[in-house]
Structure 1
């Protein structure tokens, strides 16, 4: 009996899953807020939705899914209308006392989320972006190798044997597809496993409808202007729009330009209201989009992301002479960050080339 008791006392306890750890951190809180970054994309929305489902089903709590700003891209707005995720978009968050906050798809070190109230205690960060040192909070799950935060939170549901349901599964699957832009080789083994699992529940007709969402006419005007304002410097592309009708054009042009043959680094920015929004894309495995955008915007604004995709923002551009000084400074910073010595760029496509192609002339 003594020997048996000794063996029992030395037996290792079962290792807690990540989802178990997260649930243990929030279980004693009556009020829970799941907070995404401002202007949330499909990854932030669906990952936060999955965390809310995990908490509702496992703890019988009713967490709130919170995001600042608005939904930008046409496809993302179509996703919102079709799938109706339970996210509350607001300009300011005024929580009840002793609210536990879970940051999803963003970190504490990054500006651009609604967590500013002293009534909120941030107890968890779930993200696939590496945005700084590990925060000193109870639960941290930061995995930069994952294609999407949606992969990580889908994993939580699988660990707890919870089915996502048709709407959430479709949102999670769409999020992973948008984060990888169809580049299959950038999926980890866990991403591929989650995609197969989500496919069992997702609605393919809804997914197709979201990906082919109708676009406003202003989008095409922005697109033409962007292509005419894109300059190539060896393997780097730089595009800056003096104005844009919609914010979605910034990321979409960056996604398009990185597909251009010979281009390995893309900076795309646009002035919208009194802000300059930018997106950075990379193809070279030795580059980091997050590091490139941070180097370009250092001292001007903020930015973050991961290896192949990143974004940033410069505020109050009306005070910075956008038409001249700021544009030149951003271009110089971008080329320096990309280690490009060439100072004179080549237009991706000029007006002369467009006219020549329409008239059938060989230029």
Structure 2
């Protein structure tokens, strides 16, 4: 029995896209799954194209992401127009074009992703591989490497393994047998000490004050929901860390943490994946005014502040949370 499924037809179609006269840029919204996947695709494309690089649309400030880039030597750069202009073709990894307005600037030739697929938002690319049942895009890229008989070096294997670890939230979110097989396969080549070092780099010391703000603003929403608006934050990653923390509260089946970052209202959605599909919830709440989406257990939405038409962001979120149902909001 094969360790992974065979990808002969897919690989033939994908490899046919690569030309030694062309320069490719792998575009990501950087997080561990995107970073590991991009690193793997770069390894596959090396020597098949003239040049290949990784570029992220977001500022990377989360300590674990910075540690991952540093210790695993991931060569990613913030995309600016002058950088993008140097490349002929673009690949999108661990995202779909509708996930972020910044992706509108590119015509993608290749898209590989594991997030949910929406019929009303089709992906237009010469090559697409979308597998929403997978727990991580890193699992998909591990399958590609295996089918191409490319043994991942220590740093690449560690990056892929860490990507699977984080996107499955240490196996607390949905995953399939392929994710487990990839994790087990990569463990033969990865460096556990590097992964542990990255895992322990979760917080900036000055971020701890935001937990105090979250506790003060925390509200119960209906039955099993928690919501806190954080006001203005220096980086949206703070909202992610706070939201992940509150998922550990006993009796909380879902959590929404919002804040203002870079002139946008950002909402981070977390849930147990049982009572509520957070990806659909985020899309229903914020998708009509901005961009939103994700998985059953984790999602994100962003709305430009001008779209609120001077409405208070916290009141806007509370109205959206109560839309269509009678909700009880109670401060803790």
Q: Could you tell me which residue of structure 2 aligns to residue 19 of structure 1?
A: 11
Distance across 2 between alignment mates of 1:150 and 1:45: 9
Answer whether contact 2:217 2:229 (CA < 8 A) is retained.
yes
Alignment pair present for 1:63 and 2:52: yes
> Structure 1 residue aligned with 2:100, among 108, 111, 124?
111
Alignment pair present for 1:215 and 2:203: yes
Relative to the length of structure 2, the TM-score reads 0.89
Max Rg structure: 1
Alignment pair present for 1:158 and 2:146: yes
Answer whether contact 2:142 2:160 (CA < 8 A) is retained.
yes
Distance across 1 between alignment mates of 2:9 and 2:325: 46
Q: Provide the secondary structure at the position in 1 that maps to 2:65.
A: helix
Relative to the length of structure 1, the TM-score reads 0.82
User: After the TM superposition, which residues 212-361 of structure 1 pair with which residues of structure 2 at under 5 Å, given as runs?
Assistant: 212-213=200-201, 215-233=203-221, 234-285=223-274, 287-316=276-305, 320-321=309-310, 325-336=312-323, 341-347=326-332
Alignment pair present for 1:125 and 2:111: yes
Answer whether contact 1:274 1:318 (CA < 8 A) is retained.
no
> Structure 2 residue aligned with 1:49, among 33, 36, 39?
39
Unmatched tracts of structure 2, length 5 or more = 1-5
Using a 3 Å threshold, how does the CA distance of structure 1 residues 222 and 289 change in structure 2: closer, same or farther? same
Q: Could you tell me which residue of structure 1 aligns to residue 3 of structure 2?
A: none
Answer whether contact 1:131 1:305 (CA < 8 A) is retained.
no
Answer whether contact 1:290 1:306 (CA < 8 A) is retained.
yes
Q: Could you tell me which residue of structure 2 aligns to residue 190 of structure 1?
A: 178
Answer whether contact 1:320 1:326 (CA < 8 A) is retained.
no
Distance across 2 between alignment mates of 1:185 and 1:41: 16
Q: Provide the secondary structure at the position in 1 that maps to 2:302.
A: strand
State the Cα distance separating 1:265 from its structure 2 match: 1.7
Q: Provide the secondary structure at the position in 2 that maps to 1:242.
A: strand
Q: Provide the secondary structure at the position in 1 that maps to 2:61.
A: coil
* Deviation string, structure 1 residues 52-103 (Cα, Å, up to 9, x no partner): 101115x254212121221131111111121120212233343347x22211
Unmatched tracts of structure 1, length 5 or more = 1-13, 348-363
Moved over 4 A (4+): 317-320
Answer whether contact 1:219 1:245 (CA < 8 A) is retained.
no
Distance across 2 between alignment mates of 1:342 and 1:247: 27
Q: Which moved more, 1:290-299 or 1:107-116?
A: 107-116
> Structure 1 residue aligned with 2:133, among 122, 145, 157?
145
Distance across 2 between alignment mates of 1:20 and 1:286: 41
Answer whether contact 1:170 1:203 (CA < 8 A) is retained.
yes
Answer whether contact 2:225 2:253 (CA < 8 A) is retained.
yes
Alignment pair present for 1:167 and 2:165: no
State the Cα distance separating 1:135 from its structure 2 match: 2.2
Distance across 2 between alignment mates of 1:219 and 1:317: 27
Distance across 1 between alignment mates of 2:100 and 2:182: 30
Q: Could you tell me which residue of structure 2 aligns to residue 354 of structure 1?
A: none
